[in-house]
Amino acid sequence: MEAELKHGGPFLHGPAEDRRELHTEEDHVYNLSKPNPVGGDRGQELIDNCQRELKSNLKKKFRCVFEGIAKAGKPSLLNEIYTELYITEGGTAEVNKEHEVRQTETASWKPPRPETTIRQENLFKASVGGEEPIRTLMTRGVAGIGKTVLTQKFTLDWAEDKDHQNIQFTFPFTFKELNVLRDKKFSLVELVHHFFSETKGAGICSFEKFQVVFIFDGLDEFRPSLDFCNNEILTDVTESASVNVLLTNLIRGKLLPSARLWITTRHAAANQIPPECVGMVTEVRGFNDPQKEEYFRKRFRDEEQANRIISHIKTSRSLHIMCHIPVFCWITATVLEQVLKIREGGELPKTLTEMYIHFLVVQFKTKNVKYDGGAETDQQWSPESKKMIESLGKLAFDQLQKGNLIFYESDLTECGINIRAASVYSGVFTQIFREESGLYQDKMFCFVHLSVQEFLAALHVHLTFITFDVNLLSKEQTTSLVSKRFKADLKQMRLYQSAVDEALQSPNGHLDLFLRFLLGLSLETNQTLLRGLLTQTRSPSHTNQAVQYIKKKINENVSPEKSINLFHCLNELNDDSLVDEIQKYLRSGHISRYILSPAQWSALVFILLSSEEDLEVFDLKKYSASGEALRRLLPVVKASNKALLSGCNLSEESCEALSSVLNYQSSSLRELDLSTNVLEDSGVKLLSAGLESSHCALKTLRLSDCQLSERSCEALSSVVRLQSSSLGELDLSNNDLQDSGVKLLSAGLESPHCDLETLRLSGCQITEEGCASLASALSSNPSHLRELDLRYNHPGESGVMLLSAVLEDPHWRLETLRVEPAGVRWLRPGLRKYSCELTIDTNTVNGKLKLSDNNRKVTYVVEYQSYPKHPDRFDNFPQLLCRTGLTGRCYWEVEWRGRVHVSVSYRGIKRKGFSSDCLFGETDQSWSLRCSDEDYYVHHNKTVTRITSSSSSSSGRVAVYVDCPAGSLSFYRVSSDTLIHLHTFSTTFTEPLYPGFMSRSGSGSSVSLCSLQEGDSLPGGEPSSLPTT
């Protein structure tokens, strides 16, 4: 189904070329890979002739793609219509159980990032970074994404001598063809001879001496599954066995180990093959955005028409997402080409349901004109056409419930369709339903794409209900005698409710698209498009009820993935009310001020994932700095490259949620900042479970100031020593790890699997003993670490000497070692090690502020104080600044009463006049915490954020910690010597910061500087780095 691309190539193929039955008699063949009676020159001549004949036949087979039924339409050259597909290397052969629509949507959410992309001509050339040649290549992708056309293009390029000329023989098989042989026994040589008779004619009965590629397309279509556990070992290519046994031994490498294999599959069947049997996994992602445009520009040569179509698809997110799939691009092109002819300048289909209705109508109109001799304007829904739709719809629905995508005669018989009728359908509706013949003429049938089957299944349920009043989704049918109209409305509402409920209960979302189609068919506008097929319609009043039921379900805390599909359902029902509501909040720029309902959170997720804006960076504080917000927005975290979660009041519960993101097979997350959250050791232990997952691709982890101890070092040591770990940067600064923690961490650093390049341990109470552990670990594994930050510790002279020696050793890659400032004072626990002594600048104090307690306390008073005039004084607002500008790490505490602001500001803040630019927090030059008995608020650049706190007292104690080089400013509430985080600003400071205070109106409001010093005060200057060599 994937080969028909650009020029409206058909989805359906007619019967495949007849295959001759396997010969059972003994055929005399030469083994041309060994000495033979004919002689060396004669043998090589036969091989060359065989190769030429094989290439000639493969060129005939794959050169053209036909429109209409097989060999009855205009051929299109594959080389002309082929559009390069987006293929990536990486991943595992593990199964993804999600519905393919979800997988496609998830892929569309991911921001562009550097990935190993592969062109089809390079698939077998080399594994990136690998020394051994690839024997077995697995290519995964959803249905219709282009896997089959990729194998055909590969084969055609070989046959036309364009590429892969190191390969002597290419043998393309499909699992559908092999399916019908499941009860037969034959050898590998017999199988090749039968499918590729050229090899038999040349007398080739052994392939060990040749470069051979076997292509097996469509593993997901093979019945039964490959049995690697119970199948016997087979090593002789001439020994007969079942297809299942032949394939498992070929894949294991027991049979013909010199051969190369290429297997394509949908994700659901990928885990049939053990990972150790797969040399490399690639994934066909279909079309990226530029390739979509290229497709439609090739399809529509008129530039104005192509631009209109491309622009239209971009306006509908659901259409734009589905166009990642080449087959859907073809459906869209087929529909829009016809619609533009009929509605010149008119409105184009916007929803999936509308698109598929038009597709169905186009096919039946084509059938009416081409096969029934009718005119374009004739009514296309003849009794025969209706019968066909009923039969195909019933087959689609029954087989969808069973999970079948390939149907055999027995499946059709169960649905009441005889084999002759099925063949007629596949011959007439080549772009909806297709028939293929395998060996012995066994017939197989399938819909051209899963989405077509799901649409017809939904149409069948809708038609059955409209015509017979039967709800196929309900086991119990309503039989009570009530008002006929009420009963009809009630039953119709139950139909949609049961469809929504069943879709929500599905563990893998297999009814997601079916539900969208069924609800879309309820719209009167869509029913109008099917006039003639639908003999009657129902009142549209139930649409509003369906909308309200879906919103109710969204509000019931369904999983994020399921709520996203429910928003797609609302889109099919043309209801955007929830989305519009959140868009209004987002446009205000202050969404964090609003308290959102579960439905509104889900709408926010849907908007963020559906937005054209880049999801490179996710900053939780934009929405709400809380664990609840993180839980609601996890799908956005999964789709982002970088998650900024510092200072968001997260706990160990949040770590458990993030662990699931790291363990997610398709997670995009590469950088995670959890600094300034009270995670503690229990949180890091939960997080480590995700970090240890083989799916985790995190490269940067920041855990600064998370109240961690040596126990966290033990957990993280296990992570960095894993061979699968991709962690390259780890920041554990401002945690009281001590030497014991560093010793545990060093056990991981010395592992040869540790790829850590940057390690930050500043302010962790490390002495020379910890430095010795680090030096020893790095001696054992000197090849990776480039940067080590040990500032604000006490390494001592011996510790500095040990680590400095590293810089001079040519075997070590260490380039940057930071140890200054250093000294005993930095062994003080917590942030108080950064305590600095503040001095009020009396030349800045406003006249409404009274100084006392040796200028360490400032109180708001009614009487204006007499201070000498000074250009630095705040004339009209009760504010002041401290004397010394801060540039390093600094910490201070203040006692407050009444209503006050605790602030930091650049020196250049305005002092004169009544402009708000003079106020702390009203410009981009200052940051402020407002303290009052009502609550805490933070101010910056005219933005105010309320901080909920358990304290409702009219007095208290707050702390401020600033790391100027890191651009971090944090405010805390102090309770019994415990710091309770209030808010963190993350920014870039371009000037020294000056602490400041403001006492608001109300006599008695005051601020007092607290004395915290133990030893020398903290210097304001920027710490220096130890010179490197």
Residue that finishes a domain, picked among 236, 267, 288: 288
What is the pLDDT, as a whole number, of residue 439? 42
What is the pLDDT, as a whole number, of residue 1018? 38
Q: Averaged over 845-869, what is the pLDDT?
A: 94
Closest Cα to residue 518, out of 540, 497, 496?
496
- Between CA 771 and CA 767 the distance in angstroms is 7
Q: Averaged over 437-464, what is the pLDDT?
A: 79
- Confidence class for position 106, pLDDT limits 50, 70, 90: low
Q: Averaged over 298-304, what is the pLDDT?
A: 87
pLDDT single digits (tens) 222-260:
877 788 888 899 999 999 999 999 999 999 999 999 999
742 and 873: one domain?
A: no
Output the average pLDDT for the chain: 82
Q: Is residue 494, in this structure, part of any structural domain at all?
A: no
User: Is the pLDDT assigned to residue 1025 strictly greater than 70?
Assistant: no
3-state secondary structure of 23: coil
Q: What are phi and psi of 613, to 5 degrees?
A: -70, 150
3-state secondary structure of 789: strand
What is the pLDDT, as a whole number, of residue 71? 34
Q: Which domain holds residue 820?
A: 615-827
User: Is the pLDDT assigned to residue 541 strictly greater than 80?
Assistant: no
| H/E element, 637 | helix 634-639
Instruction: Report the length, in residues, of the chain.
Output: 1029
Q: Is residue 338, in this structure, part of any structural domain at all?
A: no
Number of CB atoms found within 10 A of residue 853's CB: 11
Concatenated DSSP letters for 964-987?
A: TTTTEEEEEEEETTEEEEEEEEE-
876 and 815: one domain?
A: no
As beta bridge partners, residue 618 has 643
Amino acid in position 836? C
Into how many domains does the chain fold?
Answer: 3
Q: Is residue 1020, in this structure, part of any structural domain at all?
A: no
First to last CA, the chain: 61
pLDDT single digits (tens) 114-145:
455 666 666 766 544 445 678 899 998 877 78
780 and 873: one domain?
A: no
Q: Is residue 928, in this structure, part of any structural domain at all?
A: yes
What is the pLDDT, as a whole number, of residue 40? 56
Look at 29-33, 287-291, 625-629, 950-954 and tell me which has the smallest mean pLDDT.
29-33
805 and 932: one domain?
A: no
- Between CA 462 and CA 464 the distance in angstroms is 6
CA–CA distances in Å: residue 636 to residues 28, 245, 468, 585, 591: 65, 44, 44, 18, 16
Half-sphere exposure of 727 (CA within 13 A, CB side): 29
CA–CA distances in Å: residue 633 to residues 149, 572, 606: 38, 24, 10
Look at 592-606, 721-735, 891-905 and tell me which has the smallest mean pLDDT.
592-606
User: Is the pLDDT assigned to residue 437 strictly greater than 60?
Assistant: no
Structure tokens at 564: 């996203």
804 and 911: one domain?
A: no
The CATH number that applies at residue 56 is: 3.40.50.300
112 and 223: one domain?
A: yes
**What is the bridge-based pairing of β-strands 857-860 and 978-986?**
unpaired
95 and 186: one domain?
A: yes
What is the pLDDT, as a whole number, of residue 886? 96
- Do residues 86 and 117 make contact, with C-beta atoms less than 8 angstroms apart? yes
Most confident of 80-89, 603-612, 832-841: 832-841
The CATH number that applies at residue 863 is: 2.60.120.920
Which percentage of the chain shows pLDDT scores above 90?
47
- Between CA 515 and CA 825 the distance in angstroms is 65
The CATH number that applies at residue 758 is: 3.80.10.10
CA 665 centroid distance within chain: 9
781 and 865: one domain?
A: no
As beta bridge partners, residue 900 has 931, 999
Q: Is residue 335, in this structure, part of any structural domain at all?
A: no
User: Is the pLDDT assigned to residue 852 strictly greater than 70?
Assistant: yes
Greater confidence, 1005 or 112?
A: 1005
Residue that finishes a domain, picked among 827, 859, 876: 827
User: Is the pLDDT assigned to residue 405 strictly greater than 50?
Assistant: yes
**What is the bridge-based pairing of β-strands 671-673 and 700-702?**
parallel
Structure tokens at 852: 């006392």
Residue that finishes a domain, picked among 827, 852, 878: 827
Greater confidence, 33 or 110?
A: 110
162 and 133: one domain?
A: yes
Q: Is residue 602, in this structure, part of any structural domain at all?
A: no
What is the pLDDT, as a whole number, of residue 613? 66
CA 171 centroid distance within chain: 35
- Confidence class for position 481, pLDDT limits 50, 70, 90: very low
What is the pLDDT, as a whole number, of residue 170? 94
- Between CA 666 and CA 103 the distance in angstroms is 9
What is the pLDDT, as a whole number, of residue 1014? 54
According to DSSP H, which parts of 188-233 are helical? Answer: 188-195, 197-201
What is the pLDDT, as a whole number, of residue 969? 96
Closest Cα to residue 89, out of 280, 274, 286?
280
Number of CB atoms found within 10 A of residue 733's CB: 23
Number of CB atoms found within 10 A of residue 130's CB: 10
Look at 457-461, 588-592, 673-677 and tell me which has the smallest mean pLDDT.
588-592
Greater confidence, 406 or 19?
A: 406
What is the pLDDT, as a whole number, of residue 949? 63
932 and 811: one domain?
A: no
pTM above 0.85, yes or no: no
Structure tokens at 605: 């997720």
207 and 266: one domain?
A: yes
Residue 69 is given by DSSP the state S
User: Is the pLDDT assigned to residue 441 strictly greater than 50?
Assistant: no
Q: What share of the chain is helix, strand, coil (3-state, %, to 5)?
A: 40, 15, 45
Q: Which residues, at least 6 apart from 277, have a Cβ–Cβ distance to it below 8 Å?
A: 136, 228, 251, 252, 253
Look at 311-325, 437-451, 580-594, 701-715 and tell me which has the smallest mean pLDDT.
437-451
Q: Which residues, at least 6 apart from 287, have a Cβ–Cβ distance to it below 8 Å?
A: 83, 85, 86, 294, 295, 323, 324, 325, 326, 329
- Confidence class for position 98, pLDDT limits 50, 70, 90: low
- Confidence class for position 275, pLDDT limits 50, 70, 90: confident
Q: Averaged over 896-918, what is the pLDDT?
A: 94
Q: Which residue has the tokens 């149907």?
A: 407
pLDDT single digits (tens) 691-701:
999 889 999 99
790 and 872: one domain?
A: no
Q: Is residue 368, in this structure, part of any structural domain at all?
A: no
Q: Is residue 434, in this structure, part of any structural domain at all?
A: no
Q: Averaged over 187-206, what is the pLDDT?
A: 88
- Between CA 874 and CA 918 the distance in angstroms is 8
Q: Averaged over 390-411, what is the pLDDT?
A: 84
